[in-house]
Structure 1
């Protein structure tokens, strides 16, 4: 029994290692070639795995990029999930400013990979669908934060949270992509301060 368990554990470990090798190879090829020019053959060759083995783990380069997107966005979601229980407008402003600035800095530090994501969204329906799922997850979190502030008497209740939340997200997303393309009009701190002021002054009491 022990030998059988060791055999299973060994196979599982090799499977994990192969998956990681494929992801690391995909990251390298995507950064070197971009999404359009990258091929699954290049990725498999760099990972030094067989085609059959590679396709056990991933259906193609779209599937590989989706996992890499999820890895990067996990950093963004960690910031988005910062506990949000402000007791005043100023406290809300501080939390929101820090979140926005951290988002923008993450976009900057992940610029190259996010450029690949941006390219892929225009070429792959699967990647575009994944990004829409990510957007929706952010918007749902923002909606909950707005509703909490409204329930606490901190935010205007004449504004519908489900309408405000997408507008707030898309404003941030616009600047995120401008940073990714290195075409942003001001410093990250200035962008974060301006976005935060527009949002909090329009929503909070």
Structure 2
């Protein structure tokens, strides 16, 4: 008997209600933006009873951070791709592909990411969530840098954590500019230039 069969009818109904609220939340945030969206609107669209949303989420900020976690899954998968290059050429090719996929994932969720950008600027809860997402990426990048330093592909005099932070922040800034349409260059040009800048300084 699997986990779903062990859940009671009430538990299944609660899971469905939560899912309905998240789906409704996504629609409301996309239509109204973060600041103008309300829990009342979300409740109404989800066809749940008055105040039901507050049973599952403390406020719209809490609901939105749950949505953020969902849309970040694609990016997490990119960050989790195996990185064990044996040569500098292999490392550069993998970094270029990861950078391109990271940006592409954001562009595929462009409209939601625009709301994320807005929310980060006005909600401490959402900002904290984004900071935790940043920390997760930076930890993974640090591990990758330490690997290539130990294997002799990269310069050992660099602080892996500092370089990882710088690399992520560059990617993050370009990602927002792509999402908001603030630069003329396309995804491939951005990925190629960022990768060349990063690897040109770190690798031997």
* CA distance in structure 1 between the aligned counterparts of 2:188 and 2:28, rounded to whole angstroms: 33
1:10-49 per-residue CA deviation (whole Å, 9 max, x = no partner) reads 0111001100100000000000000000010000011011
> 1:8–1:150: structure 2 CA closer, same or farther, 3 Å change rule?
closer
> 1:105–1:10: structure 2 CA closer, same or farther, 3 Å change rule?
same
- Alignment gaps of 5+ in structure 2: none
- Alignment gaps of 5+ in structure 1: 1-5
Determine the structure 2 residue equivalent to 1:154.
153
Contact 1:76–1:103 (8 Å) recurs in 2: yes
* CA distance in structure 2 between the aligned counterparts of 1:70 and 1:104, rounded to whole angstroms: 17
Determine the structure 1 residue equivalent to 2:162.
163
Determine the structure 1 residue equivalent to 2:30.
31
Number of paired residues?
200
| 2:2 paired with 1:11 | no
1:87-142 per-residue CA deviation (whole Å, 9 max, x = no partner) reads 01110000000000011111111110011111111111000000001001100100
Contact 2:43–2:52 (8 Å) recurs in 1: no
Aligned counterparts, 1:38-187, within 5 A: 38-187=37-186
Query: More deviation in 184-193 or 52-61?
Result: 52-61
Determine the structure 1 residue equivalent to 2:188.
189
How far did residue 179 of structure 1 move?
A: 1.0
> What is the alpha-carbon root mean square deviation over aligned residues?
1.3
Contact 1:89–1:200 (8 Å) recurs in 2: no
Secondary structure of 1:102's match? helix
Secondary structure of 1:122's match? helix
* CA distance in structure 2 between the aligned counterparts of 1:23 and 1:40, rounded to whole angstroms: 11
Contact 1:97–1:192 (8 Å) recurs in 2: yes
* CA distance in structure 1 between the aligned counterparts of 2:140 and 2:39, rounded to whole angstroms: 35
